[in-house]
């Protein structure tokens, strides 16, 4: 299927912004904003990469960076946990299993500043994620040890909220959400934190990438399919310069 003229124009505009060092992001207001993708696939090996800027705690104090849920039950999330809540003042990655589900936390990155985050995880019983913030591997606290098989659903990934009720909106900005069916290395996550485009990292394993550059809905996936934007407007991107590959 040939892309529409509007999609081609949006992609060309994005490439011009990137070339000029003027990438944009999406602003989430903590009260219903979200970007709903059409990407529904699971994989045993996964890496998630994104830029985030947290202003407040988000909906219910548990603002989502992403959540694989539109109508069904929870299977996978990465979210903020407000200070004073259970296991609070952290970011938590969760993965539902048929036996014991997995819950892991890292210290919250500072608010009102951009941070790059990589979550690297193999969905097998007993494993735990490796999480990098600004290329630095974090101390991960395991709140459980997974058992059984990883749960699956046919719901799409939702960026900046959970899609079943819209009650866990992120409060701040998100940019360049990307997904690989592979376990990226510390070096590769470091390159992303220094400004590399996801399209330049392990491209054969890159299965979804939404720049979130702030044009009108739909938000093009490069790859991953178009995503529907609900209210999340354009915002300035993280202040990263053009990536220079080490020689």
Q: Is residue 174 part of a domain?
A: yes
pLDDT per residue as tens digits for the range 195-209:
999 999 999 999 999
Q: Is residue 244 part of a domain?
A: no
CATH of the domain at 39: 2.60.120.200
- Total structural domains within the chain: 1
Q: Is residue 242 part of a domain?
A: no
**Tokens 């400004």 sit at which residue?**
195
| The pairing of beta strand 102-107 with beta strand 34-36 | unpaired
Q: Give the pLDDT score at 214.
A: 76
Q: Give the pLDDT score at 141.
A: 98
Q: Is residue 245 part of a domain?
A: no
Q: What is the mean pLDDT of the chain?
A: 90
Q: Is residue 18 part of a domain?
A: yes
Q: Is residue 241 part of a domain?
A: no
pLDDT per residue as tens digits for the range 39-84:
999 999 999 999 999 999 999 999 999 999 999 899 999 999 999 9
Structural domain containing residue 90: 5-236
Q: Is residue 13 part of a domain?
A: yes
59: helix, strand or coil: helix
Percent of the chain with pLDDT over 90: 82
- CA 163 → CA 21, 52, 166, distances in Å? 32, 19, 5
Q: Is residue 14 pLDDT above 60, yes or no?
A: no
Q: Is residue 200 part of a domain?
A: yes
Please give the Cα distance from 61 to 20 (Å, whole number).
Answer: 36
Nearest CA among 47, 55, 48 for reference residue 236: 55
């Amino acid at each position: 299927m040939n892309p529409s003229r509007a999609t081609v124009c949006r992609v060309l505009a994005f490439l011009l912004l990137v070339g000029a060092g003027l990438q944009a992001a999406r602003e989430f207001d903590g009260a219903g904003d979200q970007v709903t993708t059409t990407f529904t696939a699971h994989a045993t090996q996964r890496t998630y990469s994104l830029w985030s800027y947290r202003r407040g705690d988000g909906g219910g104090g548990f603002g989502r960076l992403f959540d694989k849920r539109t109508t069904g039950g929870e299977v996978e999330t990465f979210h903020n946990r407000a200070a004073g809540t259970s296991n609070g003042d952290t970011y938590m990655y969760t993965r539902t299993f048929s036996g014991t589900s997995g819950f892991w936390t890292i210290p919250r990155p500072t608010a009102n500043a951009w941070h790059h985050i990589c979550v690297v995880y193999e969905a097998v019983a007993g494993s735990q994620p490796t999480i990098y913030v600004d290329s630095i591997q974090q101390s991960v606290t395991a709140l459980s040890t997974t058992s059984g098989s990883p749960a699956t659903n046919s719901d799409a990934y939702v960026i900046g909220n959970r899609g079943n009720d819209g009650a866990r909106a992120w409060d701040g900005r998100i940019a360049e959400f990307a997904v690989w069916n592979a376990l990226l290395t510390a070096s590769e996550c470091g390159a992303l934190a220094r400004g590399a485009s996801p399209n330049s990292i392990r491209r054969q394993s890159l299965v979804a990438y939404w720049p979130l550059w702030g044009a009108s809905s739909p938000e093009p996936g490069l790859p991953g399919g178009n995503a529907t934007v609900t209210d999340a407007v354009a915002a300035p991107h993280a202040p990263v310069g053009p990536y220079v590959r080490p020689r």
